[in-house]
Amino acid sequence: MNHHAIEISRLRKAYGEHEVLKGIDLTVSPGSVLALLGPNGAGKTTMVNILCTLLRPDDGSAHVLGHDVVANPEQVRALIGMTGQFSALDDLFTGRENLRLMADLAHLGRREAAARVEQMLDRFDLVEAADRPAATYSGGMKRRLDLAMTLVGRPRLIFLDEPTTGLDPRSRRTVWELVRDQVDEGVTVFLTTQYLEEADQLADQVAVLDGGRIVADGTTAQLKHRAPGGRLELRLDSERSLRRAMTAIGEAVHADEATLTVTVPFDGRPAELSGVLGLLDRAGAVVETLDTRPPTLDDVFFALTGHAASPADQTVAEEVA
Ligand SMILES: Nc1ncnc2c1ncn2[C@@H]1O[C@H](COP(=O)(O)OP(=O)(O)OP(=O)(O)O)[C@@H](O)[C@H]1O
Contact 20 CB / ligand 1 (< 6 Å):
yes
Asked whether the predicted pLDDT for residue 104 surpasses 60, the reply is: yes
Q: What is the mean pLDDT of residues 199-210?
A: 92
pLDDT at 252: 65
Q: Do 206 and 102 fall into the same domain?
A: yes
Closest Cα to residue 101, out of 146, 160, 138, 144?
A: 146
Q: Do 215 and 237 fall into the same domain?
A: no
Which CATH number is 87's domain given? 3.40.50.300
- By most ligand atoms within 8 Å of CB, the mutation choice from 46, 55, 194 for ligand 1 is 46
Q: What is the mean pLDDT of residues 121-142?
A: 93
Q: Do 189 and 253 fall into the same domain?
A: no
Q: Do 257 and 215 fall into the same domain?
A: no
pLDDT at 127: 95
Contact 211 CB / ligand 1 (< 6 Å):
no
Structural domain contains residue 13 = yes
pTM above 0.90, yes or no: no
**What is the number of domains present in the chain?**
2
Q: Do 212 and 251 fall into the same domain?
A: no
Q: Do 241 and 163 fall into the same domain?
A: no
What strand order describes the sheet that includes 261-265?
254-256, 261-265, 231-236, 287-293
Task: For 57-66, write each residue's pLDDT tens digit.
Answer: 999 999 999 9
Q: Which domain holds residue 238?
A: 230-294
Structural domain contains residue 312 = no
Q: What is the mean pLDDT of residues 61-78?
A: 95
Q: What spacing in Å lies between the alpha carbon of 284 and ligand 1's midpoint?
A: 56
Supply the mean pLDDT for the chain: 88
On the CB side of 315, how many CA atoms lie within 13 Å of its CA?
Answer: 8
Question: Which residues make beta-bridge pairs with 37?
Answer: 208
Contact 45 CB / ligand 1 (< 6 Å):
yes
Q: What spacing in Å lies between the alpha carbon of 227 and ligand 1's midpoint?
A: 28
Q: Do 219 and 251 fall into the same domain?
A: no
Question: CB neighbours (10 Å) of residue 46?
Answer: 22
pLDDT at 319: 42
Structural domain contains residue 311 = no
> Residue 269, exposed/middle/buried by CB under 10 A (0-12, 13-18, 19+)?
exposed
pLDDT at 97: 96
Contact 84 CB / ligand 1 (< 6 Å):
no
pLDDT at 17: 93
Q: How far apart are CA 279 and CA 44, in angstroms?
A: 47
Instruction: Name the residue at shortest CA distance from atom 4 of ligand 1.
Output: 15
Q: How far apart are CA 59 and CA 62, in angstroms?
A: 10
Q: Do 172 and 87 fall into the same domain?
A: yes
Q: What is the mean pLDDT of residues 257-283?
A: 89
pLDDT at 313: 45
Q: What spacing in Å lies between the alpha carbon of 60 and ligand 1's midpoint?
A: 19
pLDDT at 84: 66
Q: Do 214 and 262 fall into the same domain?
A: no
Q: Are 158 and 150 contacting, i.e. CB atoms less than 8 angstroms apart?
A: yes
What confidence category does residue 85 fall into, taking pLDDT thresholds of 50, 70 and 90? low
Structural domain contains residue 307 = no
Question: CB neighbours (10 Å) of residue 84?
Answer: 19
Which residues, including other chains, have CB under 8 Å from residue 244's CB and lie 6 or more apart?
280, 283, 284, 285
